[in-house]
Structure 1
């Protein structure tokens, strides 16, 4: 996945700096929908000269070229998701954990929307909110 993404960057004449590579690699391998600050904290030991601005600039670039989806929420935070395939998200209302949902039954959402409304769909996202298993377990312990 990293190699294919790097090839796409090179084909677009985007320079591959060690920091850019590290941010992309982190996003691909993390599977955790990190914030820019989380990415920064995970990379600063390996790259002492990296700045939060460098992380944000690379995330902005990756979002612009379609590698990454920026997910914004009501609390003003942005989380970033390497967007290799269309998928959706289950979000814990207690701890904020985000899990990917791959559900082929939703593949035709854009087409159905177009057929029903006439909209030309440029993008879509779906979020399902609830309580994750870990938080359910903690809440059960508190109740008992």
Structure 2
């Protein structure tokens, strides 16, 4: 974490509140559209900059699936599931997934400190629609 002390801004607080108000793991564009309703003159660049700062300050996490980044204010240890049909991302509780830190890589010189897992598949809603 960067130890630079930044002042909290109204814009950053609003952006954080937008991310924290949903469990849909929003994109920067989605956050920008919501922020414009509160701060009409906010720019997309300001949203990206503040998301970066919030991530640096460990107040949010970024989930990148290789196509786009999504943001999550839930910073406790948990995993994610991305539906390949609808594109939604769901929180998966840590206890529902085997703990990857149990993998022993020390014999190869690695110390596993953390893991980020995004499972992919079809969510219950899409599965129900396709049956």
The TM-score with structure 2 as length reference comes to: 0.84
SS in 1 for 2:126: helix
Give the unaligned 5+ runs of structure 2: none
1:124 aligned to which of 102, 115, 119? 115
Q: With CA pairs under 8 Å and 6+ residues apart, which has the higher RCO, 1 or 2?
A: 2
Task: Please show how residues 64-79 of structure 1 align to structure 2 within 5 Å.
Answer: 64-74=56-66, 76-79=67-70
Give the unaligned 5+ runs of structure 1: 1-11
RMSD: 2.3
The TM-score with structure 1 as length reference comes to: 0.77
How many residues align? The count is: 129
Which of the pair is proportionally richer in helix? 1
The equivalent residue for 2:40 is 48
Conserved 8 A contact 1:66-1:83: no
The equivalent residue for 2:14 is 22
Q: 1:116 to 1:34 in 2, by over 3 A?
A: farther
